[in-house]
Structure 1
Amino acid sequence: MTVETPFSRSAILDRLARRRDAGEPILSASAGIGLVARSAEAAGIDLLNIQVTGISRHLGVPTTTTLGNATALTIEALPEIANVVEHTPIIGGLEATDGSRRDLRATIRRYRDLGFNGISNFPTVGSMLTWADIRRSVGEGIDRDFQLIRLAREEDLFTLAHAYTADHAAELAASGADVVVARCGATAGGMVGQPRENVSAEAACEYVQSVIDSVRRASADTYVIAHGGPFATPEDAPSLFASTDADGIHGESAIERIPIEVHVAKQVAAFKNQRIRVA
């Protein structure tokens, strides 16, 4: 039996259009635990994503996708997030090359019936281009990403697509993606992120704009938001919006790792700085 979802594709697109028309950035975030999801919703997040990498972030280790079956872990996480989220669409990561789920349409329909309001191609072999080319020859390559997005569009389900190159982004947009995430590499900073001196904001902005230009040629209606690299804090965002036509930001470590690291450490230090009465 199909579960009625509160956010149709058209309703989500209307929500994003209102943001852009108001000159406000679209903000999408990964939320691996209910506390992050609830806090993000309270602050007005536009899209909440369940991704397998969120689990590793809440384990306190560097981000990784190699924690088990990504799709199964995403499905398992949904009840915790849906339990505390009332007003925000929940997007579920679906690994298109999962050999145990060859029927993508059936999996998409299962996601919808479970209560997901949209689909993302996460994780994707797009992050491993050589491997993607090898897997293409056996029908398990990057073409599955594009098939996933096309099928979700046919099912009228909202799609957020992660892109690792301008060409990858264009194909995702041509396949019908509603939002393309221009991934700029691992997020810098914090306790387990790459060193900030290793990333260039200028280079990241150039890459994001190349993705935007590529996407616009394929689909004028697709939003493009940036993720990772130097865009780790709100203080990093002005350079992105001043130098590119990006519609917003997708935060993973920027939303569910670095703020926790910073504020828990700050809170503990503040308590430790108190003094007790000594007899």
Structure 2
Amino acid sequence: MATRYTADEIVERLRSEIKDRRPLFMPNCGMGLSGKLQEKGGSDLICVSPTSWWRLRGQGSLAAFLPFSDINELVFEMAREITATVDEVPLISLSGPHNPLLGHREHLKRLWEAGISGINPFISKIYDESFCEQISNIDMGWENEVEIVKVANEMNMFSFAYAFNPEEAEILTEAGADVIASHCGATRGGLKGAKTGLSLEEAAELSQEIFDAAKKVNEDVILFAHGGPIEGPKEVEYIFQHTNAHGFTGGSAAERIPIEESIYNVTKEYKNVPME
């Protein structure tokens, strides 16, 4: 069964890797088998993710942002099988803090009881500005992502927060986020990849602006990059060479695309086995 860790314990683990000049990596996870393999492969964190749940059903990541499922209930459901297959790597979850019927402290307590050591707040700003403005007006907006980071900090639960721009990075770092991750848009590539307007060079520039803003608030904050054109190890290497990122977090890049490629290729191989 999965081991639970306080925020302090997870940060210590990550800082040990940084000190030894080893890159950090957090994949998203949508099933127990993925979690088992991600742990064996050396992941530093594993994120239980409702976007992964939808991707493993052949749909795009954005399906999780539509009113087809309760993303938090998906996390609690997935936690049962993923905590049964991951032993030592800390688990966090991509969970939504916007539901007014689920208070932040109660939400985090339920995650802890499910074997989850921290939260990656679900990102409402993947929607357009008009929608974000409207849900903020009814107290269901981005402010909840900031507030749950504050509450997690008070409870010594780990928080991994996405920022789309430098201003958000400053606010989330002030709130006590242990990790700030640049979000460069939904990941392109594979069968269900998203379109992205950013080049890899632009993603690196945006990420560094976000990192600089976060470090103005907390020099010791841990920095990850994610999304858009950062779709594989070569692209991650470019990000490491051109920013001061400590790590990379992948959703499609870490689970969907590798599964697509593996199953597609082995199926073709079986169909080409000679019969005589």
Does the alignment pair 1:273 with 2:249?
no
Q: How many angstroms does 1:134 deviate by?
A: 2.5
Report the Cα distance in structure 1 between the residues aligned to 2:130 and 2:241, rounded to whole angstroms. 34
Which digits, 9 at most, give the CA deviation of each residue in 1:177-207, with x for residues without a partner?
00112111111111111368x5410111011
Q: Which amino acid aligns with 2:97?
A: A
Report what 2:17 is aligned to. Answer: 19
State the alpha-carbon separation in 2 of the partners of residues 95 and 253 from structure 1: 19
TM-score normalised to structure 1 length: 0.92
Per-residue Cα deviation, 1:96-146 (whole angstroms, up to 9, x for no partner)? 111321x21121112112211111111x22323332223223322221111
Change beyond 3 A, Cα 1:146–1:194? closer
* Counterpart AA for 2:229: P
Equivalence map 1:41-56=2 (5 Å): 41-56=39-54
Distance 2:200 2:171 in 1: 25
CA distance in 2, matches of 1:275, 1:93: 46
The corresponding residue for 2:199 is 200
| Pair 1:251–1:4, CA change in 2 (3 A) | closer
Letter matched to residue 178 of structure 1: D
State the secondary structure of the residue aligned to 1:192: coil
1:35-94 deviation per Cα after TM superposition (whole angstroms, max 9, x unaligned): 111111001001111121011110112212123111111111101101100011110222
Q: Which stretch of the first structure deviates more once superposed, 158-167 or 238-247?
A: 158-167
Which residue among 60, 63, 73 is the counterpart of 2:61?
63
After superposition, the Cα gap between the structure-2 partners of 1:109 and 1:208, relative to the gap in structure 1 and judged at 3 Å, is same
Q: Is the 8 A contact 1:133 1:142 kept in 2?
A: no
The answer on 1:88 being equivalent to 2:86 is no
Identity across matched positions, percent: 28
Q: CA deviation at 1:4?
A: 10
Aligned pairs for 1:12-161 (under 5 A) are 12-64=10-62, 65=64, 66=66, 67-101=68-102, 103-122=103-122, 124-128=123-127, 129-161=129-161
Flag structure 2 segments of 5+ consecutive residues without an equivalent: none
Aligned residue pairs: how many?
A: 272
Question: Which residue in the other structure is 2:247 paired with?
Answer: 248
Which residue of structure 1 lines up, in the alignment, with residue 238 of structure 2?
A: 239
Does the Cα contact within 8 Å between 1:126 and 1:168 map onto a contact in 2?
no
Q: RMSD between aligned alpha carbons?
A: 1.8
Structure 1 residue 5: deviation in Å? Answer: 4.8
CA contact (8 A) 2:2 2:91 kept: no
Q: Is the 8 A contact 1:209 1:244 kept in 2?
A: yes
